[in-house]
């Protein structure tokens, strides 16, 4: 088992649960706050009073760097550790990062704030701090655990999850085929946003009933925008975009969606003769609007870099990462699609480089010498797709992986064989 790093609000139970985890798993407990106090020879209250918060944050980051190098450890981090991007990057690379999600009311009820310098005079400040930190906790966590029960229950849940944590495998397919996909064993289905938005209200309600009767859900959606809603060029209409997003994201959320793929290569294509820099800025502006509506409906948008045959804007994972940073919205992250990655001339290792931003994966059997190849994987593994799965496991990726393939002959047989192949690689890589 990898080391486990606990993050969460001050008073959320990191030290208490960390101690019990260490006992049950026979692992060393490292409390980064205690490390700083031992090194400085004084309490955190005294450090804040005499040297200030900025000094403490530097020492906290140093403690996390040392702690992250330890093997088989439980690392209890301070509530503000998540404010340091470099520290969180180290922990994600080497640990299972567990966010203890609990209520402010529970924290206020059970916590003595006398030794917490940012809260001892005004515990109600927790609400303000949570608003800033919660998006970061969720961004950097590889596991989120609801700490609303007993310490024992939460500890056992963490042990259970960390012992079996793996990627979820889904299939890009219509919602109407959800029962068929469920019976094969897939964990979820990835459907089409534009199609869902175009359904009549009666048809939409029928789909709601169909999904309710299934053990799996359409957790992901692709094809974000229809061809008439352009994001780049002289015909951009933000009012039309907002009207569409409000309806589409409401439906995606209502039917169980969590992730929405922003591909839609045609609508983001830069027209011939149009200024590329202006086109990029238009994508940033559109991203801000898309992020706003994603936040409203509790969705995460992942930008999908597409190969040059499909669009002339954002072709590489590195370009997608830059766009994510330019948009700078907590609900906008990144997707890596093996087919597009290969056909844009990138190494699969770029996924490790941009792992902190990547929230979703698409795979297919693909080869750089033939853009038409986008097949369902098989145990034959003729294009070495298993190497990509192995890479994902090596960097600790534990989100969703969707099969997005073009094979339609013997479709039923192909989706069964693909499930068996990829599931085997996930379990044995």
DSSP 398: -
b (16+ CB within 10 A) / e for 341-358: bbbbebebebbeebbbbb
Which range of 121-125, 303-307, 365-369, 390-394 scores highest in mean pLDDT? It is 303-307
Q: Band the pLDDT of 78: cuts 50, 70, 90.
A: very high
Q: How far apart are CA 372 and CA 96, in angstroms?
A: 38
What mean pLDDT is predicted for residues 67-83?
89
Q: What is the DSSP string of 8-42?
A: -STTSSHHHHHHHHHHHHT-EEEEHHHHHHHHHTS
Domains parsed from the chain with CATH numbers: 3-164 (3.40.50.300), 168-428 (3.20.20.150)
Closest CA to 388 of 375, 379, 401: 401
In this prediction the pTM is: 0.67
Distances (CA, A) of 122 to 52, 114, 118, 129: 18, 10, 8, 12
The tens digit of pLDDT for each residue in 2-31 reads: 789 999 988 888 999 999 998 888 788 999
The tens digit of pLDDT for each residue in 154-170 reads: 998 898 888 655 688 99
The tens digit of pLDDT for each residue in 313-350 reads: 999 999 999 999 999 999 999 999 999 999 999 999 99
| pLDDT in the model for residue 373 | 85
What mean pLDDT is predicted for residues 119-128?
65
Instruction: Count CA atoms within 13 Å of residue 136 on its CB side.
Output: 19
E-strand ranges in 107-193 read 143-146, 168-172, 188-192
Q: How far apart are CA 231 and CA 245, in angstroms?
A: 13
Q: For 96-105, 342-351, 381-390, which range has the lowest pLDDT when averaged over its residues?
A: 96-105
Q: Which helix (H) or strand (E) covers residue 272, if one does?
A: none
């Amino acid at each position: 088992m990898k080391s486990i790093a606990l993050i969460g609000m001050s008073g959320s139970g990191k030290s208490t649960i960390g101690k019990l985890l260490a006992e049950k798993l026979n692992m060393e407990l490292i409390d980064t706050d205690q490390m700083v106090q031992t090194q400085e020879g004084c309490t955190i209250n005294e450090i804040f009073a005499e040297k200030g918060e900025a000094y403490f944050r530097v020492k906290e980051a140093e403690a996390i760097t040392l702690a992250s190098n330890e093997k088989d450890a439980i690392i209890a981090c301070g509530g503000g550790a998540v404010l340091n991007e470099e520290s969180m990057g180290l922990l994600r690379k080497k640990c299972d990062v567990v966010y203890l999600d609990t209520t402010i009311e529970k924290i206020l009820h059970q916590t003595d704030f006398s030794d917490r310098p940012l809260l001892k005079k005004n515990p109600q400040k927790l609400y303000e701090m949570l608003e800033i930190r919660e998006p970061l906790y969720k961004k950097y966590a590889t596991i989120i655990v609801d700490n609303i029960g007993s310490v024992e229950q939460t500890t056992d849940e963490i042990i259970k999850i960390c012992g079996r944590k793996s990627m979820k495998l889904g299939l890009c397919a219509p919602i109407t085929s959800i029962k068929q996909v469920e019976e094969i064993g897939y964990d979820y289905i990835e459907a089409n946003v534009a199609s869902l938005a175009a359904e009549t209200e009666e048809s939409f309600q029928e789909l709601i009933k169909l999904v309710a009767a299934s053990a799996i859900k359409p957790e992901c959606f692709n094809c974000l925008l229809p061809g008439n809603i352009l994001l780049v060029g002289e015909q951009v209409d933000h009012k039309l975009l907002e009207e569409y997003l409000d309806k589409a994201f409401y439906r995606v959320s209502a039917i169980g969606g969590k992730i929405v793929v922003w591909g839609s290569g045609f609508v983001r294509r830069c027209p011939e003769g149009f200024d590329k820099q202006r086109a990029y800025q238009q994508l940033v502006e559109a991203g801000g609007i898309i992020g706003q509506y994603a936040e409203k409906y509790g969705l995460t948008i992942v930008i999908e870099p597409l190969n040059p045959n499909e669009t002339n804007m954002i072709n590489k994972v590195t370009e997608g990462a830059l766009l994510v940073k330019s948009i700078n919205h907590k609900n906008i992250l990144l997707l890596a699609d093996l087919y597009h990655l290969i056909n844009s001339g990138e190494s699969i290792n770029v996924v490790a480089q941009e792992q902190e931003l990547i929230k979703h994966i698409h795979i297919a059997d693909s080869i750089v010498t033939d853009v038409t190849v986008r097949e369902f994987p098989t145990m034959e593994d003729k294009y070495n797709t298993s190497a990509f799965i192995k890479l994902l496991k090596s960097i600790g990726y534990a989100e969703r992986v969707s099969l997005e393939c073009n094979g339609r002959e013997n479709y039923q047989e192909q989706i069964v064989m693909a499930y068996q192949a990829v599931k085997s690689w996930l379990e044995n890589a």
